[in-house]
């Protein structure tokens, strides 16, 4: 697992939760609101429901944590298991489920590189992105994360006009945060921790601010990636990645919803958790406040929940009904298959890939060979001389488990064997930066961090606490062969430098979670990929670059990797589309981003994985985002709230999957793959034939005529009918069918991939076809 990638596994501590005596926090979902009602009336309805299972009105009111009033009709309350069961049996209740801490955050040059992917190499940097005119000043992005560091120059409001008149949010005060912390850039901020405190007890303010202020750094990083202002002269610690920092939509407004908090334990700086009830309250407020786009770099650890019990999915569904685009990270549990999260089709789910920048750090071996590493560590080995080199597995203390002797885990190294030496450690268990801390504790002079085979050539960089660099799997194999063949192996780590225009790029990050979709295989996930490896953005000055205890360094900007970093790139793209097309639905914007994505790298070749294999649709979905192309997609696949409810009925197996009480599941809902979605995933063919119907809407010029080109998956026949579509006017809709049939050929793969593309000579509206094999 990547060390500082922020897709952190939630684990249980042997502590007594604050809610033990009061019950657990449950979310009670009542579906959509039945018409416009006063907030007070909705609250009283929720109190009345609680009174039906509680002993007194006082107890009912005391148990209520949140009343969801804007989008989803429901509430979060402290309930016993018996009380929750009784509520779930009532006819007005759609579902009842526990609010768990199974959620966590998924943790400059990247926007220039997105321009290269558009085929715009050689243009001035300001031309490499879609228009940043003043229309995006009217777009509001809601950030669900760990808060914000408002003093960062990335959040200045110089030159911005008045706050949009439709904004209804607040600037909630608290620890080191007051109304003056907001401005015309950060136009609102709130924080939510009732469910967190119900489980973990009162917040330890040594490690977090009881306010929207960010103690962690993650929320500040994602917010500046979406909408940070243009700030020249920015770099990470040590001067790496120097240049001008900017968000994808630098004029957009930010609304901050802090929902993630430190997990009590050995090092609360490292791990954050987020609870369903707190996130649903934030999403409900965000829609009521008037946001247009939500960026949510958060996901479930472990097995993803079904849609009916998924707080993010429920919040996103009701937000989408009101035109809000919800973009989520896909997770950092790759490259294993079936690890992607945030799986609902009304969510835009993002994988992570590299950009064209590296931080080259030559390693000079004693035999004269030079091995290239990467690092953003500012420290240098003293003197221009070689140092003894040792493999961690040869220097582990007795009793270290045999399978982790090479991992440099805490207290695993013998000072007598590593003192004054360069120690070669392998990635795997533990934090990458924690390995450097262990080498330093044992007296080592420097560290070389090598990839195991699963990570291939992907090299996330870190600001280690001692001289150190990281190398690919092939390069660490070379170094280990040298150590094993030499009686006195030595090396020297040269100074690192920033290199741009690295090829090939993008490359899919190995940590990026992969498909297929374990909740509903008929929906391909992730949807797209975007830059998420070694991304420079603003950081909290309350957090060090490594977040390790004892690291007292303060930085204004930091380099971090994860799908948490790719998610805001796509959220910014959604902002630009919302500014250009304010009347488009959330589904239309999602479609435009997906159907204009590319499966080619910047050189025109296929996108590869970090281990050197060819990437595919289970890795990157529809492909790498191209914001400029997305502004003019030609055709879009639209879908309504009712379409999604029908999909949920089919996906979840009938009445138990009902997501809204006003819309009972029909006896025979359309099959999940019949949702009008921009990609097509089919499973369970078993020699049969399926036909699905799709509808496209013309958002280009009138008089357009499109023809279809099909790339058939191996061993599968795909027929599209009709093969051409003509549109007399903008806004006109046309239907077509896709028939998929196995040809009978035996193929030794888990899935087969192809595509179909509608073209009119100007636009190419491309959709992946994935056939999952049993």
Angle (nearest 5°) at CA 523 between 517 and 529: 75
Q: Give, in order, the Cα–Cα distances in Å from 769 to each of 152, 460, 508, 690, 772.
A: 44, 32, 20, 13, 10
Q: Give, in order, the Cα–Cα distances in Å from 160 to each of 131, 140, 256.
A: 16, 13, 18
Place of tokens 């870190």: 462
Choose the catalytic residue: 564, 622, 766, 767. 564
Q: Give, in order, the Cα–Cα distances in Å from 388 to each of 149, 276, 406, 411, 773.
A: 43, 51, 17, 21, 52
DSSP 18: T
Place of tokens 């959709």: 767
CA-to-CA distance for 233 and 522, rounded, in angstroms?
47
Active site residue 145: yes
CA-to-CA distance for 156 and 149, rounded, in angstroms?
11
Q: Which parts of 610-732 are beta strand (E)?
A: 635-636, 680-683, 689-698, 704-711, 716-721, 724-727
Angle (nearest 5°) at CA 126 between 122 and 127: 55
CA-to-CA distance for 224 and 246, rounded, in angstroms?
7
Q: How many CB atoms lie within 10 A of CB 709?
A: 13
Classify 471 as helix, strand or coil: strand
> Residues of 140-150 as b/e, b for ≥16 C-beta within 10 angstroms?
bbbbbbbbbbb
CA-to-CA distance for 224 and 571, rounded, in angstroms?
12
Angle (nearest 5°) at CA 458 between 476 and 430: 75
Choose the catalytic residue: 67, 77, 99, 145. 145
**Which residues partner with 499 through β-bridges?**
358
> Residues of 54-64 as b/e, b for ≥16 C-beta within 10 angstroms?
beeeeebeebb
Choose the catalytic residue: 218, 569, 629, 673. 218
Q: Which two tokens stand for residue 753?
A: 């991939």
* Longest alpha-carbon distance in the chain: 80
Helices and strands counted in the chain (H then E) = 16, 38
| Strands 357-365 vs 497-500: parallel, antiparallel or unpaired | antiparallel
In 3D space, the residue among 531, 387, 580, 348 whose CA is nearest the CA of residue 467 turns out to be 387
Angle (nearest 5°) at CA 702 between 696 and 706: 50
Classify 43 as helix, strand or coil: helix
Q: Are the CB atoms for 429 and 412 separated by under 8 Å?
A: no
Chain centroid to CA 461: 19
Place of tokens 């926007």: 111
Query: Which residues, 6+ apart, have CB-to-CB distance to 707 below 8 Å?
Result: 723, 724, 758, 759, 760
Q: Give, in order, the Cα–Cα distances in Å from 466 to each of 290, 381, 420, 439.
A: 46, 9, 12, 8
Q: How many CB atoms lie within 10 A of CB 14?
A: 4
CA-to-CA distance for 756 and 214, rounded, in angstroms?
45
Packing angle of the helix pair 311-321, 276-289 (nearest 10 deg) = 10
Classify 343 as helix, strand or coil: coil
Active site residues: 145, 218, 564
């Amino acid at each position: 697992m990547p060390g500082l990638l922020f897709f952190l596994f939630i684990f249980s501590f042997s502590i007594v939760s604050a809610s033990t005596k009061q019950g657990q926090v449950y979310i009670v979902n009542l579906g959509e609101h039945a018409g416009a009602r006063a907030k007070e009336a909705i609250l009283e309805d929720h109190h009345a429901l609680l009174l039906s299972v509680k002993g007194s009105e006082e107890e009912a009111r005391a148990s209520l944590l949140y009343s969801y009033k804007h989008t989803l009709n429901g509430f979060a309350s402290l309930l016993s298991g018996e009380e929750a069961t009784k509520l779930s049996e009532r006819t007005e209740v759609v579902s009842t489920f526990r609010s768990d801490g199974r959620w966590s955050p998924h943790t400059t040059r990247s926007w220039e590189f997105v321009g290269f992917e558009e085929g715009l190499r050689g243009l001035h940097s300001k031309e490499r992105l879609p228009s940043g005119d003043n229309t995006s000043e009217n777009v509001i992005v809601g950030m669900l994360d760990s808060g914000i560091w408002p003093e960062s120059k990335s959040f200045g409001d110089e030159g911005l006009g008045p706050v949009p008149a439709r904004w209804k949010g607040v600037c909630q005060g608290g620890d080191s945060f007051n109304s003056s912390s907001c401005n015309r850039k950060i136009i609102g901020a709130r924080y939510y921790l009732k469910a967190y405190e119900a489980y973990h007890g009162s917040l330890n303010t040594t490690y977090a601010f009881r306010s929207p202020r960010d103690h962690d750094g993650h929320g500040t990083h994602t917010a500046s990636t979406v909408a940070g202002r243009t700030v020249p002269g920015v770099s990470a610690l040590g001067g790496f990645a120097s240049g001008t920092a900017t968000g994808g939509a630098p004029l957009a407004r930010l609304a901050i919803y802090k929902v993630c908090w430190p997990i009590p334990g050995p090092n609360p700086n490292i791990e954050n958790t987020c609870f369903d009830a707190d996130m649903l309250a934030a999403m409900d407020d965000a829609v009521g406040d008037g946001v247009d786009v939500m960026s949510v770099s958060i996901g479930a650890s472990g097995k993803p929940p079904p849609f009916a019990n998924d707080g993010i999915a429920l919040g996103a569904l009701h937000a989408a009904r009101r035109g809000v685009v919800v973009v989520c990270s896909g997770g950092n549990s790759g490259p294993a298959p079936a690890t992607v999260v945030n799986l609902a089709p009304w969510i835009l789910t993002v994988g992570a890939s590299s950009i064209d920048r590296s931080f080259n750090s030559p390693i000079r071996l004693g035999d004269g060979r030079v091995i290239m590493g990467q690092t953003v560590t500012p420290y240098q080995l003293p003197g221009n001389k070689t140092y003894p080199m040792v493999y961690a597995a040869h220097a582990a203390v007795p009793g270290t488990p045999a399978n982790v002797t090479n991992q440099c885990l805490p207290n695993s190294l013998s000072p007598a064997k590593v003192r004054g030496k360069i120690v070669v450690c392998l990635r795997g268990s533990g934090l990458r930066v924690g390995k450097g801390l262990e080498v330093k504790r044992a007296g080592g002079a420097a560290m070389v961090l090598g990839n195991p085979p699963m990570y291939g050539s992907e090299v996330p960089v870190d600001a280690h606490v001692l001289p150190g660099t990281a190398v690919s799997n092939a390069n660490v194999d070379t170094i280990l062969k040298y150590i094993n063949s030499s009686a006195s192996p030595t090396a020297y780590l040269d100074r690192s430098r920033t290199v741009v225009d690295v090829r090939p790029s993008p490359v899919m990050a190995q940590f990026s979670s992969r498909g297929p979709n374990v909740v509903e295989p008929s929906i391909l996930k992730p949807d797209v990929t975007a830059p998420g490896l070694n991304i420079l953005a603003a950081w909290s000055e309350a957090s060090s670059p490594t977040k390790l205890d004892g690291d007292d360094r303060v930085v204004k900007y930091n380099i971090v990797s994860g799908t948490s970093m790719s998610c805001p790139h796509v959220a910014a793209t959604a902002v630009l589309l919302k500014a250009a097309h304010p009347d488009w639905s959330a589904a239309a914007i999602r479609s435009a981003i997906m159907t204009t994505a590319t499966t080619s790298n910047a050189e025109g070749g296929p996108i590869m994985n970090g281990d050197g294999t060819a990437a595919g649709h289970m890795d990157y979905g529809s492909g790498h985002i191209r914001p400029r192309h997305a502004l003019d997609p030609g055709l879009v696949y639209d879908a309504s709230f009712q379409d999604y409810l029908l999909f949920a009925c089919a996906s979840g197996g009938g009445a138990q999957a009902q997501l809204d009480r006003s819309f009972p599941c029909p006896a025979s809902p359309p099959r999940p793959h019949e949702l009008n979605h921009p990609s097509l995933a089919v499973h369970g063919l078993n020699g049969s034939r399926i036909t699905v119907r799709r509808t496209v809407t013309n958002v280009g010029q009138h008089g357009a005529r499109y023809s279809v080109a099909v790339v058939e998956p191996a061993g599968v026949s795909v027929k599209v009918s009709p093969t051409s579509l003509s549109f007399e006017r903008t806004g006109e809709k046309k239907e077509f069918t896709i028939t998929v049939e196995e040809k009978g050929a035996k193929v030794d793969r888990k899935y087969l991939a192809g595509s179909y593309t509608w073209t009119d000579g100007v636009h190419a509206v491309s959709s992946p076809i994935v056939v999952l094999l049993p």
